[in-house]
């Protein structure tokens, strides 16, 4: 009976931590706020978790971040091997279906990894995902070296690329990229279509593209 009560308290603390992480992120999470959310004393919380990192790991194990990276890499490799990215949807591409299923199944923990893990042991996952997607996209572009007409659309990114050292051409590409990711159902598919249609997209814009793609996932 006592053991079951301990497990119930632990589960309540983990659930409370998940709520606080979704709201505040890792940097903003305070153990006293978690304790209050769980309805336990802060001192009692320390009987179950020695520190903030231990509690974070209980909410989002390393395996979640590793699996997310693995699925993203597999998905982009699948796209890279395809002759036409526009046909590689979750309906007929196994890696796309697996990634989408994981995003649905692990919705809250993916949110924490992509939007609330700054400063945590999983802070590396988001930049690694962007770097991997950018690298594989460049490999695709090298194999499909068709040129497209210059894009003249204005930039609409959250961060103006002209303020980050990008050229006006980069800014124009970024505007197209932002509009090319209108919804989350295609998870990487719209990003893939953008690269397929405009293979002269520079690296700076590819990074912004895949960063905005992860933002799209968070916004589902």
What's the confidence (pLDDT) of residue 9? 95
Last residue of a domain, one of 59, 76, 98: 59
Residues 52, 75 within the same domain: no
What's the confidence (pLDDT) of residue 152? 32
Residues 108, 203 within the same domain: yes
Residues 71, 21 within the same domain: no
Residues 128, 27 within the same domain: no
Q: Which of 215, 27, 6, 212 is nearest to 116 (CA)?
A: 27
Residues 140, 213 within the same domain: yes
Task: Return d(Cα 204, Cα 202) in angstroms, integer.
Answer: 6
Last residue of a domain, one of 42, 59, 76: 59
pTM of the model: 0.69
Task: Return d(Cα 88, Cα 84) in angstroms, integer.
Answer: 7
pLDDT in tens, 132-146: 777 777 776 666 555
Q: Which domain holds residue 142?
A: 62-218
What's the confidence (pLDDT) of residue 39? 96
Instruction: Indicate the number of domains in the chain.
Output: 2
DSSP-derived letter for residue 150 is P
What's the confidence (pLDDT) of residue 98? 86
Angle at which helices 189-197 and 203-218 cross, to 10° = 160
What's the confidence (pLDDT) of residue 87? 62
What's the confidence (pLDDT) of residue 47? 95
Task: Return d(Cα 52, Cα 50) in angstroms, integer.
Answer: 7
What's the confidence (pLDDT) of residue 132? 79
What's the confidence (pLDDT) of residue 142? 66
Residues of the chain with pLDDT under 70: 1-4, 80, 82-91, 140-213, 215-220
What's the confidence (pLDDT) of residue 149? 38
What's the confidence (pLDDT) of residue 161? 33
């Amino acid at each position: 009976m006592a053991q079951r009560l301990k497990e119930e308290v632990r589960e309540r603390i983990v659930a409370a931590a998940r709520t606080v992480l979704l709201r505040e992120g890792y940097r903003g999470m305070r153990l006293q706020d978690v304790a209050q959310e769980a309805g336990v004393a802060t001192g009692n919380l320390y009987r179950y978790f020695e520190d903030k990192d231990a509690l974070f790991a209980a909410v989002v194990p390393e395996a979640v971040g590793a699996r997310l990276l693995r699925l993203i890499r597999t998905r982009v490799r699948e796209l890279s091997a395809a002759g036409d990215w526009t046909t590689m949807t979750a309906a007929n591409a196994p890696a796309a279906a697996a990634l989408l299923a994981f995003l649905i199944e692990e919705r809250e923990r993916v949110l924490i990894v992509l939007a609330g893990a700054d400063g945590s042991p999983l802070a590396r996952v988001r930049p690694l995902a962007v770097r991997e997607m950018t690298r594989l996209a460049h490999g695709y572009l090298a194999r499909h070296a068709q040129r497209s007409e210059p894009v003249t659309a204005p930039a609409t990114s959250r961060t103006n690329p002209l303020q980050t050292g990008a050229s006006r051409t980069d800014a124009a590409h970024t505007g197209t990229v932002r509009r090319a990711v209108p919804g989350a159902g295609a998870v990487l598919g719209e990003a893939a279509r953008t690269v397929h249609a405009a293979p002269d997209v520079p690296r700076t814009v590819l990074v912004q593209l895949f960063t905005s793609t992860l933002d799209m996932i968070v916004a589902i």
